[in-house]
Amino acid sequence: MIITVLCFTVVGIAQRTAIDAAFDTAVQQGFSGVLLVAKNGKPIANRVAGYRHFETQAPLQLSDVFELASVSKQFTAMAIMMLQEEGRLQYDDSLSKYIDLPYNGITIRQLLNHTSGLPDYQAVMDAHWDKSKVAGNEDCIRLLRQYQPSMLFTPGAQYRYSNTGYLLLASVVEKVSGKDFISYLQQRIFTPLKMQQTAIRTLEAKAATINFAAGHLKDSTGAYINANKFHSSDYTVWLGNRKGPGRISSTAADLLRWDKALYKNKLVQHSTLQQAFTPATLNNGQLSMYGFGWEIETHPVLGNIVKHNGDNPGYSTQIIRCVDKRYTVIVLCNNAHPSFRTLLSNIMQALAAEESK
């Protein structure tokens, strides 16, 4: 019995060493961010390096708040699933039942799994919106209605990642619930799960959040500066009131609370949640490996995996849930460093190596 315990201890140390080595290598290459790896909901590695603000060299902390970007989509999908479970909408309802748009034959399900064929709302806004004003969902919907850009394909014909779809889903939540989307998430998800650092924050709220990790990009000299100073980031201001595709900011610890809540079915029943982790079926019968706010894949060692990444100016984010082996990997980066992808790959290799023993 003692030998067994010692073997498990050695294996745990080897795994932690491999994860630490992957993180240290990324840091040496310039990575700035937080890493949290958990097994059965308990952290086995929690590391931080880099700066909250590169200009002042204020160091990052494990508890710092990051923009999640498109990792936010899983929360939008959860809001829809909660309303579906309550019988207030159905996945195969027509979008036109809730939102007046010149696009027919689109269902809530197709919005969830990116098979709607809708055009990009941001392209319409970029071409026609007065950028001295801050746009929200209603503004985006109004311009889609006004200019009517063409559909990209017949609904259900193919997968094509769509921020438009998730913006519309947030508006559906508001229509059905009678609540502002931000308030709905706060009241129904963040507060019940004690995700106290998680919110959809305005620019003013971010500035007032002491532990908010700013996103950074390199300037022409190679120095990291606040990403908001780049012209390419302007859309985050003039589209600053949109809801659904992104804009949630959170911490690694709060995302682990979210992860654990999903295993315990705290928000919806197991059968409802499993639909989020089920591939979409296209019109031709082929499968698309995206569910409701989650990418889906199968690893030869780690089994079923659901995950999502996010990219905002200066930010790269990822949550990976190995649902069979109960590993969770959360990486939040605030300088969009190229080593981000390699770090994720090396961590997954370390987890697979452990399970192969």
Query: How high does pLDDT run on average in the chain?
Result: 95
Average pLDDT over residues 137-160: 98
Using CA atoms, how far apart are residues 89 and 83, in angstroms rounded to an integer? 6
Task: Spot the catalytic one: 32, 63, 70, 162.
Answer: 70
In this structure, the number of other CB atoms found within 10 A of the CB of residue 235 comes to 17
For residue 129, is pLDDT > 70? yes
Beta bridge partners of 248: 200
Q: What is the pLDDT of residues 41-88, one digit of tens each?
A: 999 999 999 999 999 999 999 999 999 999 999 999 999 999 999 999
Q: What per-residue confidence (pLDDT) applies to 164?
A: 98
Asked about 345 being catalytic, the answer comes back as: no
Q: What per-residue confidence (pLDDT) applies to 357?
A: 79
DSSP state of 223: -
Q: What is the pLDDT of residues 185-208, one digit of tens each?
A: 999 999 999 999 999 999 899 999
Contacts of 82 (CB under 8 A, 6+ apart): 188, 267, 268
Start-to-end C-alpha separation, the chain: 19
Using CA atoms, how far apart are residues 213 and 335, in angstroms rounded to an integer? 10
Q: What is the pLDDT of residues 206-253, one digit of tens each?
A: 999 999 999 999 999 999 999 999 999 999 999 999 999 999 999 999
Average pLDDT over residues 165-181: 98
For the entire predicted model, the pTM comes to 0.95
Nearest to 185 by CA among 331, 64, 328, 72: 72
Q: What per-residue confidence (pLDDT) applies to 329?
A: 98
Model confidence band, residue 10 (pLDDT cutoffs 50, 70, 90):
very low
Largest CA distance in the chain: 72
Q: What per-residue confidence (pLDDT) applies to 261?
A: 97
